[in-house]
Structures are given as structure tokens and as C-alpha cells.
């Protein structure tokens, strides 16, 4: 009974990760960022379970949800703390993400941030890097933005930040030229809008992350 509840809980977490962050990505990317060899977790069984339940489309190459199912999952997360987005497990949408980043209201409950372009509503905003520091459980970061200004009270930029749980980082116009000073030893996927990064993570060749550069007009998933 306990094992069954644990399995269902993992399937639920996987479903919410897909609905709020991973939807539309290739199975190769999804499997790469979700698998955990230390704990023995490989997502193929749970993904097939969600396919059998009709929650995920049965696609050969991609992990995708029907729009209604995706919105249902996102609504479940929004209802965790309706008035306090920084306490939710997953952040998405321009209003909630920017609110948390500007107010320093993120907590270690947050496991993903998903901020997409909105050309009609996008505003010029300055956000402190320190706003990310409180979200120590972050696993997935996606910041597809063009008009954000990032600043830090530290002279070393992000050198004092540790993202030990981070597996996926996609950050358009990443403001630094090197990743060596950032502690995120478990990351496996990194994407940037332009090829301006001088160095990658200092790790052994066998553990190198999958780094994908792309231009805005030619995004790769």
C-alpha cells in the first residue's frame, strides 16, 4: 500500500512538472533531466502510466499534453497557495513569476520557474539575482525574456549561488560570460539565446551537460 502511494505520488509530480514546464519537449530531453541514477528513478514507467491514463499524448518523439489537461495541471499548482505564489511548487506566468522575483518572496518549495515571452505585455523590469537565492530547491529554470534587466548586490554576479538540484536551465540573454563560477553540478541541459558564453561547467567529460545554443528565430527543443 505504501509503495503504491509512493508510485502515484511520483506520477503526480511528473505530471505537474510536464504541465508546468516540460510540455512539448522531446522525450530525450525529458528523460535526461528527470532521471536520477542515485535514487534509481527513471521516468519511462511513470510516463507510460500517464499515457495509459490519457493524461499524456502517445507521441513517439515528444512529451505533450492536450491543452485542457495542461491547464488542469497548472490550475492544481495555482491552488496550492492562491495568494502566495512564492510558496507554490512551480512558478509560471508573467505576473506570478515577476511578483516573486521582485518581492523576494520565493521559498524552497519552488522547483521550477517558467517565464515566456509576451511581446504585447512585456515590460521593462529590473530583477535582483538574490531573488533566486531563496529558491534552493530549483530543478528547472526557463527565462525566455528580452526586456528584463538583472542586477546583483554581489560584485561577482552569481558566484555566490548554489543550484545543487538544478537539472535544466534555459535563459535567453544570460547576462554573464562564464558558468564556471556558478555551482550547479547536477545540471544536464543548458540553453542560451546567443553564443556568448566563454566557459562551461568545470566537470569531467563523462558528466558534461548537454549544452544547446540557439537563436530566438531557431529554437531547439
User: Is the confidence at residue 40, as pLDDT, over 80?
Assistant: no
The mean-pLDDT minimum among 60-74, 75-89, 152-166, 193-207 falls in 193-207
**Residue predicted with more confidence, 184 or 11:** 11
Interhelix angle 2-17/44-52, rounded to 10 degrees, is 80
Domain residues of the chain, as ranges? 1-79, 85-221
User: Is the confidence at residue 4, as pLDDT, over 70?
Assistant: no
Contact predicate 173/145, CB 8 Å: yes
Residues 101-117: what's their mean pLDDT? 91
pLDDT tens sequence across 129-152: 778 888 999 999 998 876 666 666
C-alpha to C-alpha distance for 35 and 177, rounded to whole angstroms: 29
Question: Please, what is the average pLDDT of the chain?
Answer: 80
C-alpha to C-alpha distance for 26 and 32, rounded to whole angstroms: 10
C-alpha to C-alpha distance for 134 and 137, rounded to whole angstroms: 9
Interhelix angle 67-78/2-17, rounded to 10 degrees, is 110
Please state the pTM of the whole predicted model: 0.84
Residues 75-90: what's their mean pLDDT? 97
C-alpha to C-alpha distance for 165 and 122, rounded to whole angstroms: 29
pLDDT tens sequence across 154-189: 555 555 677 889 999 998 777 777 776 677 778 888
User: Is the confidence at residue 219, as pLDDT, over 50?
Assistant: no
User: Is the confidence at residue 215, as pLDDT, over 50?
Assistant: no
Residues of the chain with pLDDT > 90: what percent? 39
The predicted pLDDT at position 86 comes to 96
The predicted pLDDT at position 102 comes to 87
List 128's β-bridge partners, or say none. Answer: 151
Task: Find which of 67-81, 106-120, 143-157 is predicted with most confidence, using mean pLDDT.
Answer: 67-81
C-alpha to C-alpha distance for 23 and 68, rounded to whole angstroms: 13
Confidence of residue 205 (pLDDT cuts 50, 70, 90): very low
Supply 133's cell numbers: 537565492
Identify the CATH class of 1-79: mainly alpha
> What is the end-to-end Cα distance of the chain in Å, rounded?
38
The predicted pLDDT at position 182 comes to 73
H or E stretch covering 32: helix 27-34
H or E stretch covering 97: helix 94-103
Amino acid at each position: 500500500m505504501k509503495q503504491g502511494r509512493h508510485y502515484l505520488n511520483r506520477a503526480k509530480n511528473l505530471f505537474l512538472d510536464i504541465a508546468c514546464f516540460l510540455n512539448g519537449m522531446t522525450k530525450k530531453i525529458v528523460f535526461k533531466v528527470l532521471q536520477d541514477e542515485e535514487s534509481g528513478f527513471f521516468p519511462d514507467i511513470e510516463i507510460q502510466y500517464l499515457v495509459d491514463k490519457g493524461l499524456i499524448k502517445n507521441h513517439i518523439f515528444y512529451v505533450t499534453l492536450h491543452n485542457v489537461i495542461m491547464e488542469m495541471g497548472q490550475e492544481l499548482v495555482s491552488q496550492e497557495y492562491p495568494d502566495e505564489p512564492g510558496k507554490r511548487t512551480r512558478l509560471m506566468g508573467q505576473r506570478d513569476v515577476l511578483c516573486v522575483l521582485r518581492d523576494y518572496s520565493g521559498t524552497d518549495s519552488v522547483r521550477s520557474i517558467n517565464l515566456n515571452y509576451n511581446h504585447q505585455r512585456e515590460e521593462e523590469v529590473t530583477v535582483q539575482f538574490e531573488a533566486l537565492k531563496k529558491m534552493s530547491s530549483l530543478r528547472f529554470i526557463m527565462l525566455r525574456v528580452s526586456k528584463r534587466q538583472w542586477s546583483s548586490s554581489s560584485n561577482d554576479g552569481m558566484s555566490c549561488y548554489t543550484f545543487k538540484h538544478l537539472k535544466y536551465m534555459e535563459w535567453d540573454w544570460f547576462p554573464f560570460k562564464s558558468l564556471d563560477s556558478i555551482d550547479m553540478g547536477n545540471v544536464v541541459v543548458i540553453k542560451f539565446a546567443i553564443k556568448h558564453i566563454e566557459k562551461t561547467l568545470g566537470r569531467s567529460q563523462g558528466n558534461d551537460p548537454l549544452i544547446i545554443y540557439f537563436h530566438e528565430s531557431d529554437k531547439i527543443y
